[in-house]
Amino acid sequence: MSELIQAVLDSDEKSDIRQFISELRQQEKRYLLRNDIVNAFGEYCTRHQKPEHFYHSSHLGKLIYYTQEIIQEDGNFCLIVRPTIASQEVYRLSEDLSVDQMTVQELLDVRDRLVNRFHPSEGDILELDFQPFYDYTPTIRDPKNIGKGVEYLNRYLSSKLFQDPRQWLESLYEFLSVHSYNGLQLLINGRIKSQQQLSDGIKKAIAFVSDRPPEQPYEEFRYELQVLGFEPGWGNTAGRVRETLEILDELIDSPDHQTLEAFVSRIPMVFRIVLVSAHGWFGQEGVLGRPDTGGQVVYVLDQAKSLEQQLQEDITLAGLDILGVEAKVIILSRLIPNSDGTLCNQRLEKVHGTENAWILRVPLREFNPKLTNNWISRFEFWPYLETYAVDSEKELLAEFQGKPDLIVGNYTDGNIVAFLLARRLKVTQCNIAHALEKSKYLFSNLYWQDLDEKYHFSLQFTADLIAMNAANFIISSTYQEIVGTPDSVGQYESYKCFTMPDLYHVVNGIELYSPKFNVVPPGVNESYYFPYSRLEDRVMSDRDRLDELLFTLEDPEQALGKLDDPTKRPLFSIARLDRIKNLTGLAECFGKSEALQEHCNLILVAGKLRVEDSSDNEERDEIEKLYQIIEKYNLQGKIRWLAVRLSKSDSGEIYRVIADRQGVFVQPALFEAFGLTILEAMISGLPTFATQFGGPLEIIQNKFNGFYINPTNLEEMAEIMLEFVSKCDQNPNYWYEVSTRAIDRVYSTYTWKIHTTKLLSLARIYGFWNFTSKEKREDLLRYLEALFYLIYKPRAQKLLEAHMER
């Protein structure tokens, strides 16, 4: 990138960069983000009548494209340039146009001075650097392979292990020897005493099962196999046992990474799983996360059902069901005594439609019962997580009658609990973030001191750093969740380098090229969400009831707005009412476009109808804003705003009712980490318009099975929707074409079966490599414990003291 800067300075464009930065000096803003920079450059090109190619193709145009931030300090400009995904270079451009490359530490100092310019800090500040812990572990080289960690890890470590046949056989023998379930020995027994005996025994066992009918049940020849040294776990029939043994035989004789993955994926080593969703308001009826974790509740519930089913299938295929081996999945959440009539005050609740999946609710210790007996905001939850983890450990050990095999954290609070539990129980830890708060709130780390009283980001971001570095593997829903796009920074990437002035500098917060990252998108619950055309699976009375609710029912408690013409094509959106989900932006987009109003009605299912009914400040602000927009653009008769809490079955049917009327779904979020409602709408058959900022870029193929919109450009957003509606009016088949492609997209890529098969495969493969490579993680874990006890815990204690006074 220094060559590009030099190319600007060595060309005729030197006068342009001098003029451009001179104009930037006139701006009040001293800290410009990419959007500010691109807009300022566009205005510069227009003002100075530059040709189109100059904006896009000149050296300066390219430099502007790659520049993520510009900080102005004492007449100098600090340019933060992102030449490729997951990389960053920093340059100081002085008034005389001389250029120096800056270190990360110098950049963080500049940011600190920007915040503390009236009261500059003195002395050094704590630096956090995780890079040394990754120096001796394999890292991916090509950015395209980020998020495919297990594939890389498997190839890399297997090639190293296979180089020493003796060590390889010894590791494999030891690995097969350790597996058991409640005292029941699995795979091999004491008759096989060495790796050579293992190799010989496999060939004898293959010959033995080859003489039997492939479909013969395992229990009919179980004891003969035990005499040969092989315990249960190889398969449920002679054919399945033979397949598994032949894979192992091939792995011993001519090992390669694909055979290793195929074999390890069959090993019965995961039976008990904990899914941590600590935040609370976790239930199956009348509970949607209240108000800020509804998507997480849906995700974890569906994941739990699918995991339990997949585990049980795997146990059956391994021939272990006849021996009483059971899968068990526990969703760990908090018990809330004042539960508003929900089941959130019950310790144990079975997950509907499962044999052995449960919601286990553990209460917070009382401390101040005014708080701990009630729901606590996700921004205030931090002081209770350590004691909650200690109490949860006892409860989990009792419920499982032993240790779990895998702990999966969800969101920051669940991930820090997962870290504490996995550390104490010494089991595999998986993290799922859903959405990292740091990306959602602009400058949230830089101005944390102004925001901490309300949001407590100093606790949250510290917890994120601890949990993501401690995890054995991390699941993201999309690639860009990790490292963004060529012109936007990923959520995890934002933790690579940042400052929290007067608290600490993060010089290297996470290794983005680590094979711990894996993209495993969630699925859709196909019991509730399915195509509108499957009339045989729909309940017509529900369809009629919800159609009336959406378009004509007059009920001031549930619905605001009477439509002048209910037959117009519906633009539909469903989300919580907060700033990020941006339903007010969609309403304003609709209000500004008279052409869109002529063709369509706007139907919103969101939040509460009255400010006084909401206890969430952000929701209250959005309610007021929505009323103002309806009034300003005179949208009476053109908009319906519904405040209803939907069951899963009603939620699925509402999408289909909209599809019956050839409507569309609009997801206008300012940022969306993934977008489960997008999948729900698409599988229902709704042409979908979704934000171009975040996960939808990987779900939707633009103009083929859906459409991207820029929620910050309301006029352009309206034009894209209007163009689609006009095409549908001209060609009635166009709606059906997009609808069909949307359905096909979800079924090919986004099902829970695909998700859980991959997740369990990851758990087994990471478990195998943790055992065989004996990776020394103790130094990293000690470092993380130091952060927890020296930074996180004292700050949490101060927050707890404030809570005790309420």
CATH code (residue 50): 3.10.450.330
Q: What number is the average pLDDT over the span 582-593? A: 95
Whether residue 291 has pLDDT greater than 70? no
Q: Are residues 315 and 424 in the same domain?
A: yes
Same domain, 470 and 558: no
Query: What beta strand segments (E) does 238-306 contain?
Result: 272-276
* Cα distance between residue 732 and residue 444, in whole Å: 47
Q: Is 426 exposed, middle or buried (0-12, 13-18, 19+ CB in 10 A)?
A: exposed
Residue 665 β-bridge partners? 572, 688
CA-nearest of 794, 767, 780, 726 to 264 is: 767
Reported as a single tens digit per residue, the pLDDT across 308-329 is 999 999 999 999 999 999 999 9
Instruction: Indicate the residue among 102, 135, 167 that finishes a domain.
Output: 102
pLDDT tens-digit map of 520-534: 999 988 989 999 999
Q: Ramachandran region of residue 74, left (φ > 0), alpha (ψ -120 to 50) or beta?
A: left
The residue out of 264, 285, 318 marking a domain boundary is 264
Residue 76 is inside which H or E element, if any?
Answer: strand 76-81
User: If you average pLDDT over residues 23-43, what whole number do you get?
Assistant: 91
Question: Within this chain, do residues 429 and 324 fall inside the same structural domain, yes or no?
Answer: yes
Evaluate if residue 660 carries a pLDDT over 70.
yes
User: What pLDDT does 675 receive?
Assistant: 85
Amino acid 646: pLDDT: 84
pLDDT at 118: 65
pLDDT in tens, 487-542: 889 999 999 999 999 999 999 999 999 999 999 999 988 989 999 999 999 999 99
* Residue 536 DSSP one-character state: G
The band of 556, judged by pLDDT with boundaries at 50, 70 and 90, is confident
Same domain (yes/no): 746, 784: no
Residue 126 backbone class (left: φ over 0; alpha: ψ -120 to 50; beta: rest) = beta
Average pLDDT for 60-82: 94
The residues near 70 (Cβ < 8 Å, ≥ 6 apart) are 24, 31, 32, 37, 77, 78, 79, 80
Q: Which amino acid is at 133?
A: F
Residues 6+ apart with CB under 8 A from 427: 403, 404, 405, 406, 407, 421
Q: Would you say residue 62 lies in a domain?
A: yes
User: How sure is the predictor about 2, in pLDDT bands with cuts at 50, 70 and 90?
Assistant: confident
pLDDT of residue 802: 96
Q: Tell me the percentage of the chain whose pLDDT exceeds 70.
A: 98
**Which letter does DSSP use for residue 323 in this model?**
G
Q: Are the C-beta atoms of residues 779 and 141 closer than 8 Å to each other?
A: no
Which token pair is 758? 């991959």
Q: Which of 457, 566, 452 is nearest to 506 (CA)?
A: 457
* Residue whose structure tokens are 């390890």: 264
Residue 1 CB contacts under 8 Å (≥ 6 apart), including other chains:
66, 81, 83, 89, 91
Confirm whether 238 is domain-assigned: yes
Residue 774 pLDDT more than 70?
no
Letter for the amino acid at 558? Q
Give the Cβ contact number of residue 554 at 10 Å: 9
Asked whether the CA dihedral 541, 545, 551, 552 is positive or negative, the reply is positive
pLDDT in tens, 725-744: 999 999 989 999 999 999 99
C-alpha 712 chain-centroid distance: 23
Tell whether 90 and 215 lie within a shared domain: no
Tell which of 750, 765, 780 closes a domain.
Answer: 750
pLDDT value of residue 365: 95
Query: Quick one: 517 and 544 in the same domain?
Result: no
The pLDDT of residue 341 is 87
Phi, psi of 571, rounded to the nearest 5 degrees: -95, 120
Q: What is the CATH number of the domain that holds 260?
A: 1.20.120.1230
Q: Report the alpha-carbon distance of residue 596 to residue 714 in Å, rounded.
A: 12
For residues 374 and 382, is the Cβ–Cβ distance under 8 A? no
Note whether residue 137 is domain-resident.
no
587 and 735 belong to one structural domain: yes
159-176: average pLDDT: 88
By DSSP bridging, strand 89-93 and strand 473-476 are unpaired
Check which CATH number belongs to the domain holding 657 and give it. Answer: 3.40.50.2000
In a 3-state reduction of DSSP, which class is residue 673? coil
CA-based nearest residue to 314, from 272, 252, 257: 272
Length in residues, the chain: 806
Instruction: Sort strands 127-129 and 504-508 into parallel, antiparallel or unpaired.
Output: parallel
**Same domain flag for 282 and 361:** yes
Instruction: Tell me 497's DSSP state.
Output: S
For residues 551 and 547, what is the distance between their CA atoms, to the nearest angstrom?
Answer: 6
Q: What is the pLDDT of residue 288?
A: 59
Instruction: Answer for the pair 34, 26: CB distance below 8 angstroms, yes or no.
Output: no
Identify whether 142 is part of a domain.
no
pLDDT for res 776: 76
Per-residue pLDDT reduced to its tens digit, 615-655: 788 888 999 999 999 999 999 999 999 998 888 889 999 99
Asked if residue 504 belongs to a domain, the reply is no
Is the pLDDT at 244 greater than 90, yes or no?
yes
Helix (H, G, I), strand (E, B) or coil at 702: strand
Distance from C-alpha of 67 to C-alpha of 53, rounded to nearest angstrom? 18
Which of 25-29, 157-161, 549-553, 674-678 is most confident?
Answer: 549-553
What would the pLDDT profile of 372-426 be if each residue is shown by its tens digit?
999 998 899 999 999 999 999 999 999 999 999 999 999 999 999 999 999 999 9
Instruction: Look at 8-12, 204-208, 514-518, 681-685 and tell me which has the smallest mean pLDDT.
Output: 8-12
Q: Are residues 231 and 298 in the same domain?
A: no
Residue 112 falls inside a structural domain: no
Contact 282, 290 (CB under 8 A): no
In this predicted structure, the answer to whether residue 349 has a pLDDT above a threshold of 70 is yes
pLDDT digits (tens, 9 = 90+) for 102-124: 999 999 999 999 998 767 667 78
Same domain, 470 and 564: no
Average pLDDT over residues 330-355: 95
Could you tell me if 488 and 630 lie in one domain? no
Look up the domain containing 246 and give its range: 150-177+188-264
Please check whether residues 239 and 296 belong to one and the same domain. no
Return mean pLDDT, the chain.
Answer: 93
Distance, CA of 466 to CA of 448 (rounded, Å)? 18
CB-facing half-sphere around the CA of 3: CA atoms within 13 A: 1
Q: Is residue 679 part of a domain?
A: yes
The rounded percent of the chain whose pLDDT value lies above 90 is 79
pLDDT 10s digits, 202-235: 999 999 999 999 999 999 999 999 999 999 999 9
Q: How many domains does the chain fold into?
A: 4
Residue 118, in any domain of the structure? no
